[in-house]
Structure 1
């Protein structure tokens, strides 16, 4: 893995290239109830076929965080939720640089447009905004903030 890939964030973050450098196989196939999954035992990521660029980039970034954490399948529901939240949070931080978010926030009128411009799913944009507490960001009125428990 190149040094540039290790420090790249935001629009320059390329999870597919990092996975390739790590030798992690990405398999595209029909999936019923998820967009992606990491299999530590097989050293591969399986993602849903037919995803668009933004969806695939977001899913690969999420699954890459499972790779970095060396996550195994977890039968404990609470631990599994924690793994998923951690993967979402860390992926959103790498995919959405604050400088890119600040630039888009100046003109994007809604979160859908902002997510598209940032090349992430709207869900990961929401995770990133929650991470930043949403204060002062468009699309997140202060009265509408949710707190995590």
Structure 2
């Protein structure tokens, strides 16, 4: 998806799990993350990229961009039917479901709070 949109993916050392640079059309992911963390972070940053988000000092706009990127990632990575099967098999524990679906726990919470309710 990133390649099709003309977005390069690179790796960095540092604190942020990931970031998107709209000017350079680059997503950077932190070295050393688990596959699940990298997959979830990449999906989140793709959300920023595909919406053309740029850093902003406006806290309201920043929160809106983050929420939209989280919802994009949750929709991209979580299949509602697969989540339902996992919940039937393992219960409602967020961390267990995240492991089963290979996503971050935050994306499970985002899916439940926003995507599933629409």
Q: Provide the TM-score with structure 2 as the length reference.
A: 0.91
Counterpart Cα distance in 1 of 2:9 and 2:86: 31
Which residue is equivalent to 1:36? 18
Match of 1:84 among 50, 66, 70: 66
Instruction: Look up the match of 1:47.
Output: 29
In our comparison, the structure showing a higher alpha carbon Rg is 1
Correspondence for 1:9 = none
Q: C-alpha displacement at 1:31, in angstroms?
A: 2.0
* 1:128 correspondence with 2:111: yes
Matched residue count: 115
Structure-2 residue corresponding to 1:26: 9
Q: Compute the displacement of 1:90 (Å).
A: 1.6
1:59 aligns with 2:53: no
Unaligned ranges ≥5, structure 1:
1-17, 134-149
Structure 1 length as normaliser, TM-score?
Answer: 0.73
Unaligned runs of 5+ in 2: none
